[in-house]
Every structure is written in C-alpha cells, then in structure tokens.
Structure 1
Amino acid sequence: MHNLDPEQAIVEQLVGLPVADVERDLILATLRETGGNRTHAAGLLGIAIRTLRNKINSYTAEGYDVPEALQTSGQ
C-alpha cells in the first residue's frame, strides 16, 4: 500500500461518490466557512455568483440546510 499525503488521502475517500453529492457538500461547507457569504464562497469556489445562487436554490428545494448570511450590526 502506498503512503498518501493528506490531500491525496482526502481525494481517495471521495472515489465512488457521485460528483453532484461531492459538489453539494463542498458548496455547503464553503458557505458554512464563509458565514453564509455567497460572494466570498463563489470566489473561493471559482464559480459565478449566479451559478452559486442557482445551486443554493436547488439545494433548498431538495430540503438541504443552506447556511444563511450572517447579519452585521450595521444593517
């Protein structure tokens, strides 16, 4: 058995999973990491904000818990 670096080990855990599931989990995790900031999440993911919004709408319709943007005290 080969010794994998941590990044390779993570990728190996994804083998066999549907790409749509991996994509959804990555998007939702990125939204959690950014406090629900869609613009920041889209930038980190390298996708257009419109694409992210469309995916979020789809996930919400499917019943997934999508992180809401944190409100700042100035709003």
Structure 2
Amino acid sequence: MHELDPEQTIMEQLVGLPVADVERDLILATLRETGGNRTHAANLLGIAIRTLRNKINSYTAAGYEVPEALQPSAQ
C-alpha cells in the first residue's frame, strides 16, 4: 500500500504508479470498507464477482493480506 501525502491531491499521488498497484490498493481498500463482502465490493468497483475472486487469489498468492468476510454473529 502507498502512503498518502497530505500536501498532494489523490490524483497527484497516483501519477507514476503502476496501474496494477493502484488497482490492487483500490480493491483491497474496498474490501476493508465492505467488511470483506466480496459481492458488495465487486458491485462498488463495477467488476464481476469472478474477476474480483481471481484478483483476490492472485493477491493472496503474492503474499498480500486480503480482508476476510465478516461472519454474522450468532444471537
């Protein structure tokens, strides 16, 4: 993940970064935001769930920590 510089806009911070890195960071951040809900994350990102699963598998294989889906609590 890339560190944000508060003196630059988000767009300025993305200049020069490989698209694959930006895509990975966006996907992982979206998964964290959705509590690991892959269907919701795929919908927010505008990609197919299968595409998201394939990307998650490649990130896991490369050693990145992928947020797990939160399990509903038993009541």
Q: Settle same-fold status: TM greater than 0.5.
A: yes
Q: Deviations over 1:48-68 (max 9, x none)?
A: 000000000000000000000
Residue identity over aligned pairs, in percent, reads: 90
Q: CA RMSD in A?
A: 1.3
The answer to whether structure 1 residue 31 and structure 2 residue 31 are counterparts is: yes
Point out the structure with the larger helix share: 1
TM-score of the aligned structures, taking structure 2 as reference length: 0.86
Structure 2 unpaired stretches of 5+? 1-7
Worse-superposed segment, 37-46 or 8-17: 8-17
TM-score of the aligned structures, taking structure 1 as reference length: 0.86
How many aligned positions are there?
67
1:64 aligned residue:
64
Structure 1 unpaired stretches of 5+? 1-7
Q: 1:53 aligns to what SS in structure 2?
A: helix
The runs of at least 4 aligned residues of structure 1 exceeding 6 Å deviation read none
